[in-house]
A and B are shown apart, each in its own frame.
Chain A
Amino acid sequence: MTGLSKVEISYIRSSLLSDPPLRADGRAPEDFRPIAVETGVAPLANGSARVSIGQPRAGRGHEAEGAGGGTEVVAAVKLEVDGVGDDEEGGKVICSVSCSPAAYPHLSSPALDDLQSDLTSLLGSVLSHPSLCPQNLVIVPGQKAWALRLDTIVFADAGNVVDCLMLACRAALVDTRVPSTRSVEYRAPGRQSGTLNEVPDDLMDVDQSRNGPSSMLETRDPSSAVDFELADYWDEGKVLESRDSWPVCVTLNMLPTIHFLDATSQEETAVPLRLHTMFSFPGGKPTSHGMRMAGAGTSDMTQIGLLLKHAEKYARNMWIGLEAKLAEEEARRSVKAREKFYGGRRR
């Protein structure tokens, strides 16, 4: 997008400020473009999702400049085993956003890097917050835990990329399955195995058996488990805890008298001031997980108060819609996984 002319910007703004407000494609100010959500798109990841806002039309390419193709984002979760630090509970969420150069052909490489790091810090400051860390990421308490890496890629950007990113992240996190693990302890053969779970006899012998505190200086309570192994079960693992606390984002683009949602790229250029609001509804109660104002322009308290009330409403609608779709996807996935597991076994 080489930018809009002054008259085009003025036309878009005056159309929005007219009564009734009119947008370029005829939508009402609160209307979103059609949103498509699909989970399980990356089979090698522990959880993944693809979200596209506005239909990306086949064969548009750069010509979609004026027509507005669609915004498309893929998010994937990979769990890695990580050591646990001294003062950490265990388990953390690390986000990253990468913008494909195909989505931003007019941006130079350093500008693209800047955009990537801006989106990464926006997402990271919301999703990596300690209050959102799921509890069941610990494998061996005090020693090993899962580090959850949430990577997102923006394939196409036709406006409203932040909402799309948050939807994809939430869908990927809900789709994530944490592999079930069993703590394992190494013991010399011939000793009583009194403590932990099953100890396979053919496991390697390591002189690390600790029957109890070996010295008075050892004040930590050492869990005797030093390693773990993966269980083989059909459902690919457990879901993440506190799934209903991952937020969705609603971006409100602000004009002095009205606000509107889901801006296209031209609308974003014409109306730069916007407010990103992240809401989640655990147990039906609205909780705000982040608010960011972006773009040149000022507002005032009354407008922000009003916007927040509306934002809660919009976020609730989006939440309900997303939940329904994710429940559908989950049912489909478990059927598929069961078939695959048992189908393979029977052969």
Chain B
Amino acid sequence: MAQSTFDRRRVNGPEESFSPVFDEEDDAELGWTVKHGRGLADIRPIFLQPGLVSQANGSAYIETEKTKLACAVYGPRQSKTTTYSERGRLNVEVKFAPFSCVRRRSPLRDAEDRAVAIAVYQSIVSSICLELFPKSTIDVFIVVIENDGIEGCIASGSIAASTALADAGIEMLGLVASCSAGVRGDEIRLDPVEKEAAAADGTVILACMPALSSITNVYQSGRVSVQGALKCMELCQDRCIDVHAVMAQSLLSSRTSTG
């Protein structure tokens, strides 16, 4: 079953190990129909706190029910590479904590880390004024503490990264808000959790700058019709305006509290 590659730096457990099996209802249908106490167009309540990591130039911690992640921003600082670049560089790294998922994840980086990092990079790169930082690099480090669906991770990661960048005082064109949606048949549900996303036909993640009404990233996977995808994007964009208000509020209140 779960084959772990032999890791010389850690004490390895037994080669073959099996997770305990719980007597759980994991019927696919049920994953979609359970309402979780919110409407179809409601997203999970967001708790967003900037400035939590003191040694970073900027940071943010975001929590939406069962998705929790922390983001730290270092920079702009000197690029390590010798090649000259007129525009600044953005480097996004995502790490899933081994205890973040139902099955333990190996501490080594794998493909899923990189896929989430690329999606978050695409969401925020167009919002930063990189031409003001030649020869510099901005590092964004995201640690996922609890993971309830990859779509939620990407959306929350983008929100946290944008907030952390604002917390660090880096010049941006606007705050980036992000929202995900799941589609099953004709029904569209915003901010799906892992079970809902697994039961859905397809998912859409949208990242946009509500202040400028411009879209920075569209990520769709699974089977969706074109009209369905466009409808999802419109709903997400509407919801992003609310998310943006939350982000602005959290930044301003953290500023006023620190004076």
Contact = CB atoms under 8 A, between A and B. Distances in A.
Q: Output the residue of B122, B222, B233, B237 with the most chain A CB within 10 A.
A: B222
A136 interface: no
Nearest 5 CB-CB pairings of A with B: A291-B220, A298-B214, A121-B115, A293-B218, A298-B126
Interface in B203-241: 204, 209, 212-226, 229-230, 233-234, 237
B125 interface: yes
A120 B216 contact: no
Interface of A: 85-87, 117-118, 120-121, 124-126, 129, 131, 275, 285-294, 296-301, 304-305, 308-309, 312
B218 A121 contact: no
B111 A292 contact: no
- A interface, by DSSP: helix, strand, loop or mixed? mixed
A131 B222 contact: yes
22 contacts: A121-B114, A121-B118, A129-B221, A129-B222, A131-B202, A275-B218, A285-B225, A287-B223, A288-B223, A288-B225, A288-B229, A289-B221, A291-B219, A291-B229, A293-B218, A298-B212, A299-B214, A300-B214, A304-B215, A304-B233, A308-B226, A308-B229
B242 interface: no
Given A117-B111, A301-B234, A291 B126 contact: no
A297 B224 CA distance: 25
Given A120-B111, A121-B118, A126 B215 contact: no
Contact of B237 (A87, A292, A301): A301
B215 A300 contact: yes
Contact of A305 (B216, B224, B230): B230
A290 B230 CA distance: 13
Contact of A117 (B26, B114, B226): B114
B221 A125 contact: yes
Contacts of B224: 287-288
A292 B119 CA distance: 9
